[in-house]
Each structure stands twice: as structure tokens, then as C-alpha cells.
Amino acid sequence: TSGEGDRAERLKRSKFLAGLVATLSGAAIVLFITLTHKFNPTTDIAPVETSIKTIGHALLGSDKYGYILPFEAVSILLLACIIGGLLIARKR
């Protein structure tokens, strides 16, 4: 939401190096954990056929394992973000 006359300030070398070190150390940790983990497939689980009705009840159910409440929470959060973005853009 910056205007035409706004210019970004130059990044200091210390902040750039700190960001670079944090990025490289995070990537190293993720690679180490991924490469050293033993991914053993589970063979004792048999495939189960699920009907469309069961999937629909699971997605739109409001019980313990239903997903309707998280979908609604995310939709309200996104609506608040859109309204906030419009208010910030309107001020300029």
C-alpha cells in the first residue's frame, strides 16, 4: 500500500546477514530432519471404500470431527482481512 513517492530504505548489511544466516540454518535443520528420518510404510492398513455421503457428512458436519466450524472461522478471518485491506487502501 505504498504510494508513488514512497521509497524503500536500503537494507543494512547486518540485517541482511542475519536474515541469510536464519534462512540457511532453517533450511539446514529441515534438510537434516527430512534426510535422517526413516519413512517406513505401514502395510497393515487395508483400504476402505468410503461413500460420498460419508465424505459430505464429515466435511459439513458440526460434530467432533466435522470441518464446518474451521471453514467458517477461516471465512470470517478472510472477510476481516479484505475489509481491513479496503480500509487501508481507502485512506490513501
* Global confidence as pTM: 0.43
* Domain membership flag for residue 64: yes
* Domain membership flag for residue 38: yes
6-33 tens-digit pLDDT: 777 788 899 999 999 999 999 999 999 9
Give the structural domain span for 65: 13-42+52-91
User: Is the pLDDT assigned to residue 1 strictly greater than 60?
Assistant: no
* Domain membership flag for residue 34: yes
What does the H/E/C string look like for the chain?
CCCCCCCCCCCCHHHHHHHHHHHHHHHHHHHHHHHHCCCCCCCCCCCCCCCHHHHHHHHHCCCCCCCHHHHHHHHHHHHHHHHHHHHHHHHC
Number of domains in the chain: 1
